[in-house]
Amino acid sequence: MASTTSSPKRTFRQRLRRWTLWLLLVVLLTPAALLLVYRVVPPPITPLMVIRYGEGEAIDRVWRGLEEIAPALPRSVIAAEDNLFCHHMGFDRAALQSQIETAQAGGTPRGASTISMQLAKNLFLWPDRSLLRKGLEFWLTPYVEALLPKRRILELYLNVVEWGPGIYGAQAAAQAHFGVDAADLSGQQAALLAAVLPNPREWIAGDAGDYVHQRAATYRQRVEQLGPDYFGCW
């Protein structure tokens, strides 16, 4: 009798372990599979686009390869968002440590996201500041760095990042804010686009105030100081 009654329990436990294993494999392999696809194919949509579309916003987006984007824009974005983009493996450890110390001291961390981290968020996650989302961002970033070359990371980021309500990517942003193609952006226009990235729904690159212009001037100066060789990873 004991063996008869315990058999269904063993069967249930075996099935549970099997399904848990399959679920784990799906969770681990799905981001890798998608990134391998995105290595050669533009992502059709992102979670943020879906969310904004559900809120009634249109999606203005036109894919442009990195060779079709003025070099001033990726340089400005790196200078503004991630100075060490060409040198780290997904995380700026010094910036992260600084923000941890700020939080421990009672301050408000300003974030230390790299371009790779922001791409992971844009491709797979939703826009909030919860610990869950941040934890998933940390988990996904090594996938991004391991499976995509730096050039592709930058190209994807510049094509999916939000640059205003319903505006995604460099081409749509260049057209919406300055009436030019992404290939024809000037150094000043590129710096203004980089300057509004932290708050693209409130700051308008094409109608920027003094604060955004000051930020843009800082990034233009930083690009000049770093020099073209610094951006050689792409």
Candidate from 83-92, 98-107, 132-141 with smallest mean pLDDT: 98-107
Residues 211, 196: Cα–Cα separation, whole Å: 10
Residues 34, 101: Cα–Cα separation, whole Å: 35
Helices (H), ranges, 40-83: 47-54, 72-81
Domain count, the chain: 1
Joined together, the tokens standing for residue 216 give 């843009």
Any domain includes 82:
yes
Residues 122, 156: Cα–Cα separation, whole Å: 10
Any domain includes 181:
yes
How do residues 105-126 score in pLDDT, each as one tens digit?
Answer: 665 555 679 999 999 999 999 9
Residues 68, 176: Cα–Cα separation, whole Å: 17
**Highest mean pLDDT range out of 23-32, 74-83, 93-102?**
74-83
How many residues are recorded in the chain?
234
Residues 79, 86: Cα–Cα separation, whole Å: 11
For residue 90, the domain's CATH number is 1.10.3810.10
Does residue 168 sit in helix, strand or coil? strand
Joined together, the tokens standing for residue 14 give 């075996």
Any domain includes 32:
no
Question: Who wins on pLDDT, 48 or 22?
Answer: 48
For residue 142, the one-letter residue type is: P
Give the pLDDT of residue 128: 87
Give the pLDDT of residue 1: 45
pLDDT higher than threshold 90 for residue 39: yes
Give the pLDDT of residue 220: 97
* Mean per-residue pLDDT, 182-197: 98
Any domain includes 106:
yes
Question: Would you say the pTM of this structure is higher than 0.85?
Answer: yes
Any domain includes 65:
yes
Q: Residue 191 is part of which domain span?
A: 42-231
Give the pLDDT of residue 97: 77
Any domain includes 163:
yes
* Mean per-residue pLDDT, 84-97: 87
Any domain includes 202:
yes
| Sign of the torsion angle spanned by Cα atoms 121, 122, 125, 126 | positive
Whether 45 contacts 154, CB under 8 Å: no
Specify the DSSP element, H or E, that contains 28: helix 2-38
Give the pLDDT of residue 191: 98
Q: What percent of the chain has a predicted confidence (pLDDT) above 70?
A: 90
Any domain includes 134:
yes
Measuring CA to CA, how many Å separate 67 from each of 58, 154, 230? 27, 12, 18
pLDDT higher than threshold 60 for residue 179: yes
Joined together, the tokens standing for residue 87 give 């040198």
Q: What is the mean pLDDT of the chain?
A: 90
Give one word for 125, left, alpha or beta, with left for phi > 0 and alpha for psi -120 to 50.
Answer: beta
